[in-house]
Amino acid sequence: MQQPSRRSFLSAAGLGAAAAALAACSGGGPGPRAGATATGAAGAKASLPPQKGKLTFSFWGGSDGETKGFQHLKEKFEAANPGAEVQLKVVPYDGFFAGIDRGLQAGNAPDVFRVDYTTIGKYSSKGTLLDLSPYFSADDVAEFLPPLWQAVQYQGRPYGVPHQTDTSAIVYDTAVLRDAGITTVPDKLADAWTWEEFAQVATTLRGKLPEQKFPFAYDWTRAGAFRWLSWLYQAGGTLLDPTLAKAAVPSDPATKALDFTKRFFTEKWVPASNTIKGARYSDEFFVSQIVPMAFVGDFLVPTLADPKQGYKGEWAATYMPQDVGAASDLGGNALVVNGETKNADLAAAFVRFAASEDEMKYFCEQAIELPTRSSLATAKLDYAIRPDLVALWAEQATTLGETVVKESTVPAFSSINTLLQEQLEAAFTGQETAQTLQRIGDGVNQALQR
């Protein structure tokens, strides 16, 4: 499969228009506090000399490829900046942001930390991050894919650097599906299963698998609850109205999406423990062979391909199902600087270096993730693991629409995601659809007004 152009997918999805929309619609709330205020005009410090000093960089532990990529970044940055020392702090994802919040409150948060696009607004809107405007010229900004650069902005100023992106697709055991009589699996995005076809696949597997096994597992667990919105978008709905200031649910598309996904439990397509608040993620159900299909992000390819602890069997990947249209989720992370860092120039130089072409390329190739620089979007990357499958995730990312980017990066989205965790969990354990959607709508409106 030929790897599609990331530049072309953003153009095709209409995401260029998201740039102005994001800047215009992300207002409201307090502006940056003194510790996070820009220290010069835009681009004034875009050409810093080598920096000295110590800084701490905190990130959650991911695959060996991510750790390798960040270790490589540390070594290269220190070599390019004699006298600089970067202390890497690897923290489990669960509880990562609670630790960051405690550190910010106590005044001992790391100088630089990682944050996903759906959470960055929580910090940038409260003025806890360093305004990076002085460290990026207009030419620097033009090197990034426009919607992802806009995803790190608040009130027109960047408070992070888009480091990588990712999205979801379906992995499956080829032998199990073949033995169940499912001999045709989509290998083109245009041929992705419809909801009805996906339901038939799940029903077929349910009839062939033993009682203790299930057709698939989904990746909405815990902080991933927002990924459920892909089904809402596929059904032709939205979470917010066009102003981004009011909930667009309840709605007919939302009812359709929730009723369909509730079937995952009522028809026993997923394990009963594969809940929003469960302790096991979709890849764990797949690796343990409780399910022959799972929705996973491309960053989990290294986990599944691990020869010792990965999937024991032949597996491949296919696209997300589609209904009225195709849609996917905005995954990935930015690197941000603590607004109270004692060495802003050193920290800013570090995140600039992390997002440089060579470092981003190396990191994405090792971590099996997708780049955010335009030059790399059209380049063929030498992915360390299953490059044939990474091309599929890159193509799936072409369904990342303008609405997804706009809605996923509003400052209140972190609170909205918590709301989704609560209400979707209730829906999948018996709460009525109408009540669930009304509570989501009311909660979204409250979050947007805070």
Give the model's pLDDT for residue 405: 83
Q: Is 98 exposed, middle or buried (0-12, 13-18, 19+ CB in 10 A)?
A: exposed
User: Do β-strands 315-318 and 84-91 pair in parallel, antiparallel, or remain unpaired?
Assistant: unpaired
Of 33, 224, 43, 39, which Cα lies nearest the Cα of 123?
Answer: 33
35 vs 112, 113, 160, 236, CA distance in Å? 15, 17, 15, 42
Q: Is the pLDDT score of 380 beyond 90?
A: no
Query: If pLDDT is split at 50, 70 and 90, which confidence band does 20 have?
Result: very low
Neighbours of 43 (CB within 10 A): 16
Give bridge partners of residue 336 from the DSSP assignment: 113
**Domains assigned to the chain:** 6-165+332-385 (3.40.190.10), 168-329+412-449 (3.40.190.10)
Asked if 112 and 338 count as a contact pair (C-beta separation under 8 A), the reply is: yes
Give the model's pLDDT for residue 432: 98
The mean pLDDT value for 329-350 works out to 96
Lowest mean pLDDT among 37-41, 44-48, 165-169, 230-234: 37-41
| 31 Cβ contact partners less than 8 Å away, ≥ 6 residues apart | 127, 155
CA–CA separation, 13 vs 35, rounded Å? Answer: 37
CA–CA separation, 133 vs 7, rounded Å? Answer: 24
The mean pLDDT value for 287-295 works out to 98
CA–CA separation, 147 vs 151, rounded Å? Answer: 6
Single-letter residue type at 324: V
Higher pLDDT, 62 or 374: 374
127 token code pair: 């003025």
CA–CA separation, 83 vs 338, rounded Å? Answer: 21
Of 140, 165, 202, 153, which Cα lies nearest the Cα of 356?
Answer: 140
Q: Per this entry, what is the length of the chain?
A: 450
Give the model's pLDDT for residue 18: 37
The mean pLDDT value for 265-283 works out to 95
Give the model's pLDDT for residue 27: 35
130 three-state secondary structure = coil
Asked if 300 and 222 count as a contact pair (C-beta separation under 8 A), the reply is: no
In terms of DSSP H, where are the helices of 329-412? Answer: 344-354, 357-367, 374-377, 387-396, 402-408
Name the DSSP letter for residue 240.
Answer: B
| 305 Cβ contact partners less than 8 Å away, ≥ 6 residues apart | 311, 385, 386
Higher pLDDT, 360 or 35: 360
Question: Considering the entire predicted model, what is its pTM?
Answer: 0.83
Helix (H) or strand (E) holding 59: strand 53-60
Higher pLDDT, 42 or 216: 216
Give the model's pLDDT for residue 61: 78
The rounded mean pLDDT for the chain is 90
- Torsions phi, psi for 294 (to 5 deg): -155, 145
Q: Is the pLDDT score of 348 beyond 90?
A: yes
